[in-house]
A and B are shown apart, each in its own frame.
Chain A
Amino acid sequence: MQALFEEFPVIRDAFWLTIRLTLASGITALLLGTILAAMRVSPLPVLRGIGTAYVNILRNTPLTLVIVFCGLGLGLVLDVSFSTSLSTNYLWLSIIGLSAYTAAFVCEAIRAGINTVPIGQAEAARAIGLTFSQNLRLIVLPQALRAVIAPLGSILIALIKNTTVAAAIGVTEASLTMKTLFESHGAEVIPIFFGFALGFVILTLPTGMLFTWLSKRLAVIR
């Protein structure tokens, strides 16, 4: 237990980084996923094809591979640079990887949500002369998004846990910090592990409850 109290500032900073990774990747993934979902239902076959290919590729690739590609491929070889500080740069590269991966799941959720909107809604929208993009933006997506709050919550919880994979390219979020503490406090592996596990439960449990509450509150009454 001693180590957990001694190293509290380090642990707090690590979890703060986990939270920032989650928020940055989550917002980007939500935007990208929505665009992908719109592409997958659009009238243009070429857009539908791009969306489908994206989702199938990213969903079937291990996240570790995506992050390693971003860190070593984009970062080291192609010199994609967001910051002169090496650690900040890897942070951004891992955000790219996490967002790209999570967007595929967001897209699938929103597409499933679009299927919950009754067909009459879209038909009525067309009958009053709305175009595809108006139809999607004003009628279908607002209802679809409200139907998928709970699945989006599951995706967010998965994302919180997935941020640990950023450890693969040296981002000092919670899991890598835990490993460092294991190395410096070899005798206290078990308390440190339960401390970090508790940290993740503290992040995921309220997220789950918040999204369950939101999904009930915002559910479309039919």
Chain B
Amino acid sequence: MSTLTAEPRQSREHGSVPDRTSVLYDAPGPRARRRNTVFTALVVLAVLAVLYLMVIKLQEKNQLDPALWRPFLQADVWVNLILPGLLNTLSAAVVAAVIAVPFGFVFGIGRLSEHAWIRVPSDVVVEFFRAIPLLIMIFAVMYGGSAVFGLTVTPFMAVVVGLVLYNGSVLAEIVRAGIQAIPRGQSEAALAVGLRKGQVMRMILLPQAVTAMMPAIVAQLVVLLKDTALGFIVSFEDLLNAGARVLPSNFNNIIPAVIVIAVVYIIINLIVGAIATWLERRTRRSRKTTAQPIEPPGAIVVPGATPGVSAVD
């Protein structure tokens, strides 16, 4: 397929060397090259001007004071203040993911059931939890658990339950799409050789669907990991809490702390995102499935455009 922007990602399907010239503009001649150099210089100047203004502003508020940044060079700050937060973030994400994946399979397969008494409740659960904001679910678990059921709900539990219900519902959509992406001939052939419905699902559809939806599931895990930061609002002692509450209360350095914490989040998410992209590329070549990798629901899917894994949230 021909595309207007040429980036390595777009042309990887062909397995060819990426074409770096865009069709949106001509190959620059001498004059255009000169003009581009001038524009590049102007852009660089503008960026430098913005950076300069930012530095001035930060300096004016004493934010470049080395005392505010030095804590990040001390091992005990990382060990005692940042890593416990990171550990809480990761454990909330892992626990939520471990519960959300089976949740997604149960409700995703439930939505494909031939029995209305299984299908309709699955539809309602999945659509409801996808339609409402995660934060109001976390609030509801936090307050509802104690006010209605008399349970002591820790912020960790509230975050995990919210993440499971929301991401589990999104995963249910991924599972459903993954199973539906398998060509009809597969289940028809399986039925023809005498397998029962449950066997078709278990032996023919699911093994292939798992391969097709793996990239979408991993892409959704990036969303899940990012959403753990909502726990900050209900005082969950996560990584964001370390950056926005703990460190500033010790060193009065909210801006440096938030920037450093953001870098940690970005690095983790880039790693998980890279795994998703790698899985997707592998699935495209895979002969273990008859289906193409599916897009996460809510992903930026434009008919006719080149696919990729990234979920909107």
Chain B residues 275 to 312 lying within 8 A of chain A, measured CB to CB, are: 298, 300-306, 310, 312
On chain A, which size bracket covers the interface? 35 or more
- The A/B interface has a contact count, at CB < 8 Å, of 214
Cβ-defined contact, B302 with A62, below 8 A: no
Does A178 lie within 8 Å of B132, measured CB to CB? no
Instruction: Confirm or deny: B206 has a beta carbon within 8 angstroms of a beta carbon on chain A.
Output: no
Do residues A204 and B61 form an inter-chain contact, with CB atoms below 8 A? no
Q: Which residues of A contact B302 (CB under 8 A)?
A: 109, 112-113, 115-116, 147-148, 150-151
A164 to B133, Cβ gap below 8 A? yes
Query: Measured between alpha carbons, how far is A155 from B227 in the docked complex, in Å?
Result: 16
Let me know if A47 and B43 touch, CB within 8 A: yes
The stretch that binds A, out of B100-108, B112-120, B189-197, B255-263, is B255-263
Residues of A within 8 Å of B39, CB to CB, are 44
- Residues of B within 8 Å of A131, CB to CB, are 25
Interface residue from A60, A73, A118, A178 paired with B136 (Cβ < 8 Å): A178
Question: Is the C-beta of A89 less than 8 angstroms from some C-beta in chain B?
Answer: no
Would you call A118 and B254 a contact (CB within 8 A)?
A: no
Q: 1/0 contact trace for A176-219 toward B, CB 8 Å?
A: 00110011001101100100110011001100000000000000
- Does A167 lie within 8 Å of B240, measured CB to CB? no
- Report the bound CA distance from A111 to B306 in whole Å: 10
The answer to whether the Cβ of B75 comes within 8 Å of any Cβ in the partner chain is: no
Task: Please determine whether A60 and B265 come into contact, CB atoms closer than 8 angstroms.
Answer: yes
Q: Does A126 contact B (CB under 8 A)?
A: yes
Q: A-side binding surface: helix, strand, loop or mixed?
A: helix
The segment from B79-87, B176-184, B266-274 found at the interface with A is: B266-274
Across the interface, do B5 and A114 meet the contact criterion of CB distance under 8 Å? yes
Q: A135 is contacted by which of B24, B40, B240, B269 (Cβ under 8 Å)?
A: B24
Q: Which residues of A contact B73 (CB under 8 A)?
A: none
Complex CA distance for A147 and B302, rounded to whole angstroms: 7
On whether the beta carbons of B22 and A43 are closer than 8 Å, the reply is yes
Q: Is the CB of B300 within 8 A of A57?
A: no
Q: Any chain B CB within 8 A of the CB of A79?
A: yes
Restricting to B1-48, which residues have a CB under 8 Å from any CB of A? 2-5, 10, 22-26, 28, 32, 36, 39-40, 43-44, 47
Whether A43 touches B230, Cβ cut-off 8 Å, given contacts A147-B302, A179-B139, A201-B132, is no
Inter-chain contacts of A183 with B (CB < 8 A): 143
- Chain B's closest residue to A132 (CB) is B25
Q: How far is the CB of A101 from chain B (nearest CB, A)?
A: 10
Which chain B positions have C-beta within 8 A of A62?
226-230, 240, 265
A105 an interface residue at 8 Å Cβ cutoff? yes
Partner of B148, one of A162, A179, A190, A204: A190
Interchain residue pairs with CB less than 8 A apart (19):
A43-B25, A50-B47, A57-B266, A61-B265, A63-B226, A64-B230, A65-B243, A69-B262, A72-B254, A79-B61, A115-B3, A136-B24, A140-B24, A155-B300, A161-B134, A167-B135, A193-B144, A200-B133, A204-B131
